Chains A and B, each alone.
Chain A
Amino acid sequence: MTIDTGNKTYLQQSDAVRARFDKIRQREVILEARHLGKKYISAQGEVEALRDINFEIHRREIVCVVGPSGCGKSTLVRTLAGLEKHSSGEMLLDGKPVTGPGQDRGMVFQGYSLFPWLTVKKNVMFGPEMNGASHDMAERDALLWLELVGLDKFANAYPHQLSGGMRQRVAIARALVNQPRILLMDEPFGALDAQTRIKMQTNLLDIWRNVDITIVFITHDLDEAIFLADRILVLKAHPGEVQEMIEVPVPRPRSTAQFGGPEFRATKQRLEELIHPPVQHEENEDEKAIKPHLLRFTHVTDNVE
């Protein structure tokens, strides 16, 4: 099932990219999902959010998860974090089953999750202190990580004094200071403006290059997924199932100049085919119930178009 985009498809990889993927595959598997399933029991009945999810993520890979709204992206990442219990299958971190939340999996949330009563520095110190580090050790680590995300000058500010982008930087530092095996991110840049978002993406890649960290990144922005990811996990909705695991053929190191490039376009086209199938009336179930009925509130002669 290959679709031509010009004379290149998203499955064609340059030698360098193929060699890179071979190298990744040789690294140990850090996170593995086997027949993972999740059902919510709610007042409206049972919702099957995830069904039979299988994947393996290797050390220091960046895997982005995309899919239509309500397909279970957040459920997946929350299950990986241990914030939700899966209903079936299993999930292995370094070969060991995951039971609850733990410092081996850091998480950055979409909304602002910083502790508003703590300064930026104290926010970052929170994790090490919870895990038994001394105050001095925690403080030293916190300052180090704040420097890495470029916020050392704001160490003593409160979260509400920072911009959205700065807060998410602190959230990243706060997660990474715990030295987790894997960093889970649920649409962390979703609320930021386009310019800030690009900066954050570039900065995240810089951090990833210098730190031994594996990233699972949820997004609904396809450009963001292609820009960041080694592989993209595409989910479909109702129930949430794996549709395809795409190896991104865009070579590394990544730069914003690659956005219009042929590999980029080919990958994006494939993603769009998967997420927005050409048959338009097959909408997602939540949206189907919503049918706006428009009334005219202005005078018949008062036209804007």
Chain B
Amino acid sequence: MFGTGMSNVSGWLSKSLMARRHALQVLGSFLLPLLIWCAVSYLPFIWHPKMLVEVPGGVDYFRAGMLVDKSVFQDELTSMQAQNLELPQGKPANPIYLPAPHEVAKAFYTAFTKAPEQKDLPWLHESLWHSVTIIFWGFLISSLIGVPLGILSGTYSSMARLNEPFIEFFRYLPAPAFGALAVAVLGIYDAPKISIIVIGTLFQQILIIANTTRKLDPTIVEAALTLGTGRLRMLSRVVVPGILPDLYRDQRILLGWAWTYLIVAELIGTSSGITWFITQQARYQHFDNVYAAIMMIGIIGFGMDILLGKLGRRLFPWDRSQKKE
């Protein structure tokens, strides 16, 4: 009794220690790039290739708040000195496309709190939600076709020979190439966007899932055969549950790929969603908003993957390879 109690306590201790170390490592992996970004933004001697004009002085085309190259600023400074005119004043700055962390953080916050400048324009979260629905439908439709087809191809070699050569060919055709076609067939709203995600995901999905199905331990299938399992039941009671944890992992990776097709998909027809938001903000040189939106995509994608990972561990308690994650 006492012995098992002790080992439970020490087991729990080492587990919590492990968890804490794990969390620290995750934090560290984010902290390093953030530190570099801070250093580049806040320490002028590291990079800062521009000068932010504060006082134009005698230079006729300088305006306060203007960004000019350091060399240009230096030239004007020496020429003003030579002509004995009022000297321009400025401080080192980064290019407009590299806002500092605090600016992005502020943009991130105001995106949710301050209404967009034009009345009829969508909020950031509305754009994001639209993007998420595109991904959802695209991935759902792709999976409804791809998962069953992949499992069948992995189980029956005749099925694989029938469709895999074509899929191998088709998956090399870049999904965006079908954009114009998709618009012509499906109109300019969400349908062609969803179809691009389907085209981008489906063919890889069939091949990957067929491969995963083939990797099922043959001994397990043979054991089921000797227990009197028929052909149909073999699929539903052995093959599918046998590959389920791996299938789930594949789907997580494929979902990540679907996200990468999102930007292309949203440029098709009438630009929409988060892509529309980003291009719009970039046009007005609101790069802090651009970064905030890009980060938002990252956070949603990463957060979803972590959530799905946790769910997977709960769904498949027998799967040991997942414990190592």
Contact = CB atoms under 8 A, between A and B. Distances in A.
B222 A113 contact: yes
Nearest to B317: A158
B227 A174 contact: yes
Nearest to B240: A117
A130 B319 CA distance: 24
B118 interface: no
B172 interface: no
B302 to A, nearest CB: 28
A33 to B, nearest CB: 18
A67 interface: no
B227 A116 contact: no
B227 A160 contact: no
Interface in B210-266: 217, 219-220, 222-230, 233, 237-238, 241-242, 244
Contacts of B225: 82-83, 100-101
Size class of A's contact patch? Answer: 20 to 34
Contacts of B238: 115
Contact of B318 (A126, A127, A158, A175): A158
A113 B220 contact: yes
Interface stretch (A103-111, A145-153, A208-216, A288-296): A103-111
Contacts of A174: 223, 227
Contacts of B319: 116
A116 B318 CA distance: 6
A109 B218 CA distance: 11
A120 B224 CA distance: 15
Nearest to A106: B226
Contact of B226 (A117, A118, A159, A175): A175
A101 to B, nearest CB: 4
Contacts of B237: 126, 130
A131 interface: yes
B240 to A, nearest CB: 10
A102 interface: yes
Contact of A127 (B227, B317, B320): B227
A178 B228 contact: yes
Contacts of B229: 130
Q: Interface on chain B toward A: helix, strand, loop, or mixed SS?
A: helix
A130 B233 contact: yes
A81 interface: yes
Contacts of A127: 227-228
Contacts of B320: 160
B223 A113 contact: yes
B242 A115 contact: yes
A178 B227 contact: yes
A161 B228 CA distance: 26
Nearest to B238: A115
Contacts of B37: none
Contacts of A117: 241-242, 244, 316, 318
A118 B224 CA distance: 13
Interface string A23-52: 000000000000000000000000000000
A114 B222 CA distance: 11
Given A130-B230, A159-B318, A111 B224 contact: no
A113 B225 CA distance: 12
Most buried by B among A111, A130, A174, A178: A130
A127 B226 CA distance: 9
Interface string A78-112: 00011100000000000000001111011101011
A109 B223 contact: yes
Interface string A158-173: 1110000000000100
A105 B226 CA distance: 7
A175 B224 CA distance: 10
Contacts of A103: 226-228
Nearest to B323: A160
Interface in A173-212: 174-175, 178, 184
A184 B222 CA distance: 13
Most buried by A among B224, B226, B242, B317: B226
A91 B319 CA distance: 40
B241 A107 contact: no
Contacts of B227: 103, 106, 126-127, 130, 174-175, 178
Nearest to A78: B222
Most buried by A among B223, B224, B237, B238: B223
A130 B317 contact: no
Contacts of A130: 224, 227-230, 233, 237
A230 to B, nearest CB: 23
B114 to A, nearest CB: 51
Interface string B52-96: 000000000000000000000000000000000000000000000
Contact of B222 (A109, A112, A116, A160): A109
Interface string B266-282: 00000000000000000
A111 B228 CA distance: 20
Contacts of B318: 116-117, 158-160
Given A116-B318, A117-B318, A160-B318, A126 B224 contact: yes
A83 B222 contact: yes
14 contacts: A101-B226, A103-B228, A109-B219, A113-B217, A113-B219, A113-B220, A113-B222, A115-B223, A117-B242, A118-B241, A127-B227, A160-B320, A171-B223, A178-B227
Q: Which 9 A-B pairs have the closest CB atoms?
A: A103-B228, A113-B223, A127-B227, A101-B225, A107-B226, A158-B318, A113-B219, A117-B241, A130-B229
Given A105-B226, A117-B318, A130-B233, 8 more contacts: A101-B225, A113-B217, A113-B223, A117-B241, A127-B227, A130-B228, A160-B318, A174-B223
Interface of B: 217, 219-220, 222-230, 233, 237-238, 241-242, 244, 316-320
